[in-house]
Chains A and B, each alone.
Chain A
Amino acid sequence: MNLFTTFLLSLRAMWRHKVRTFLTMLGLIFGIGTVIAMVAAGQGARESVADVFRAMGTNLLIISNGSSSQGGAAGGAGSRYALTWDDLAALENGEVSTVRWVAPVLATKTQVASEETNWNTSVTGTNGAYFKIKNWDVAEGKLFDDDVGPAKIALIGKTVATQLYPGVNPIGQPIRINGQPFEVTGILAAKGQSAMGQDQDDIVIIPLKTYLAKLDRGAGKYITKGQIYVSTNSENDISRAEQQITELFRQRHNLGPNDEDDFRIRNLAEFALRQKESTDKITTLLALVAAMSLLVGGIGVMNIMLVSVIERTREIGIRMAVGAKPLDVMTQFLVESLMLSLIGGALGLAAGAWWAHLMADYYGWKFLFPAQTAVIAFLVSSGIGVVFGLYPAIRASLLDPITALRYET
């Protein structure tokens, strides 16, 4: 008997027992469905976490001044002047090969005002590289680059835009920063909350030179109230870059082997990586639990197939009497459990995608359909069909035709 006929035959047999077929599939639908939903949800959650970190900056290292220590009392981070503009220049000149972008970030809290109203916000002075590091673009207007010099222009975040210019397009509007007149040339794309819960859109960004000229003259060669943002070429370079910068700066600051660093490097990528790892772990755990339910579904298939073989003993006898070989009988039952599993798997896939979609909506994650997992789940379900269908199928094929024909249902 050819395989196509066998497929038709098994479809027909399944159709004759619709309710039982559906109930058997239910185990697989839930099994596959939960696996898909869990993995999709896990990936969605991870992606959402990754987004938060991406908003903070890609492959980001933040270098800041270390703490001073006078008479045994530590002054806290940034209390010591150690970073110099020359340090910055050294990074910008490519003395650390793994570093791609370098941006000085100086910030202060100050009052800003439109013609109507005013607001207290953080004003940042930086250069064009900053936007690359932070993956930040404008929603309207345009970014500035390093050619602007000490221009009196300002990019404002969404929050500042709503506070200062309600109902007005802020582009081209005057803005007073610390009493100085500026012009709004761009509105930054909304970034939402940072991983630490700060509103990243409550910000005004102006060119570094303007900042230094109008807001904070600084302390000569030192970068005082600021940090250096550095991004590396790739994720894998981060630890090396951290090491290289440490070495370079220790050397530049003439620190002896027993001296402590007079600067601090924060590695956000590592933090992000740990976050990712923990979401991954949870995803794996959930998928494992879901896989258990898949196994239970598979055992359900075996159960029903065994019942089916017993129930259809007479049918098997008849088929054998008219010329069905043991292999034909085995194939018939194997194909039937395979079809059960495949159709159940397909339905489970759809159900899983739907659940994942609901969850993503509810928790505000991204909806990601895990194509790879879907393929694996599909293969697993057909595997289940074969593995759990094999024993009942073999039992069917070993039946003695005479006994089977005499079997009373």
Chain B
Amino acid sequence: MSTPLVEMRGISRTYQMGDNLVHALRNVSFTVERGASIAIMGTSGSGKSTLMNIMGCLDQPTSGEYLLNGKDVSKLSRSQLADVRGKMIGFVFQNFNLLTRTTALENVEMPLMYQGIGARERHKRAIEALERVGLHGRHHHTPNQLSGGQQQRVAIARALVTSAPVIMADEPTGNLDSRTSYEVMAILQGLVDQGITVVLVTHEADIAAYARRVVTLRDGVIVEDKTQEPAKAVAVG
């Protein structure tokens, strides 16, 4: 049996807020297999964002062990973590988080710059990624010239371009209308079919319905972990 992609053992994360110690995660353990489609659900304050930050190597646990692809990343330096993020994880955010006044192509190329990949190769791979998310002929548009759905596609292309095995999508449809949401979910489901692990973080049940596995958090603890037959989103157009 191969090692799971994500393996968390007794992860806790506390924050000091003034005099209070806030327990965002309490002794959470769970694993994610390669190629999984998983949704992390919970209300605001449930700890789902903290879990995603730790899973995405943006944050580190106060205690516990986190093995990403079999390698302990819970004690890495900031610089090493950045390296792991760049190679292992692609992020998709609610507010897209594209660089303003920067073309779609440049946005997608950016992660490759930090891996020291040459301009020609960057260019080639960025175009490929943009084609994969179905964004044709808009490579040189800046984010404010693109619709919300198109911006989110650019963001997905940016997450794809490094060939990272995990894509973490934090409320990816939060800023989109339902039709566009549907399209974005179709793209993400397509990625799962291609063997990429997609981790969705959402508070909306109808978005979580697209995932095969749903993990629900409340007050920093996993309260439910179920597997389901995912709803099928079909790309339109």
Contacts and interface: CB of A to CB of B under 8 A. Distances in A.
Interface stretch (B26-34, B38-46, B84-92, B177-185): B84-92
Contacts, number: 63
Interface of B: 53, 56, 58-59, 78-79, 82-83, 85-87, 90-91, 93, 97-101, 110-111, 113-116, 119, 158, 162
B106 to A, nearest CB: 8
A323 B85 contact: yes
Q: Is the interface of A mostly helix, strand, loop or mixed?
A: helix
A401 B158 contact: no
B48 to A, nearest CB: 14
Contacts of B99: 315, 318
A44 to B, nearest CB: 46
Nearest to A397: B78
Given A323-B87, A402-B59, A1 B79 contact: no
A13 to B, nearest CB: 9
A405 B119 CA distance: 26
Contacts of A5: 113, 119
Contact of A325 (B82, B97, B101, B111): B82
Interface in A302-348: 314-315, 317-328
B162 A314 contact: no
21 contacts: A1-B113, A2-B116, A5-B119, A9-B113, A16-B101, A315-B100, A319-B110, A321-B56, A321-B91, A322-B90, A322-B91, A322-B110, A322-B158, A323-B86, A323-B87, A323-B114, A325-B78, A327-B79, A328-B114, A402-B53, A405-B93
Interface of A: 1-2, 5, 9, 16, 314-315, 317-328, 401-402, 405
Contacts of A318: 97-99
Counting chain A CB atoms within 10 Å of each CB, the highest count among B82, B110, B119 belongs to: B82
Contact of A321 (B97, B100, B101, B119): B97
B61 to A, nearest CB: 14
Given A2-B116, A16-B101, A315-B99, A323 B111 contact: yes
Contacts of B78: 325-326
A314 B102 CA distance: 14
Nearest to A5: B113
Contacts of B87: 323
A402 B58 contact: yes
Contacts of A314: 97
A326 B58 CA distance: 13
Contacts of B79: 325-327
Contact of B115 (A317, A319, A323): A323
Given A401-B58, A402-B58, A405-B93, A322 B111 contact: yes
A221 to B, nearest CB: 91
Contacts of A327: 79
B111 to A, nearest CB: 4
B59 A326 contact: no
A314 B119 CA distance: 24
Contacts of A328: 82, 114
Given A1-B113, A402-B53, A324 B82 contact: yes
Given A1-B113, A2-B116, A322 B101 contact: no
B85 A322 contact: yes
A327 B110 CA distance: 16
Q: What 7 A-B pairs have minimum CB-CB distances, sorted nearest first?
A: A323-B86, A322-B111, A323-B114, A325-B82, A325-B79, A318-B97, A324-B114
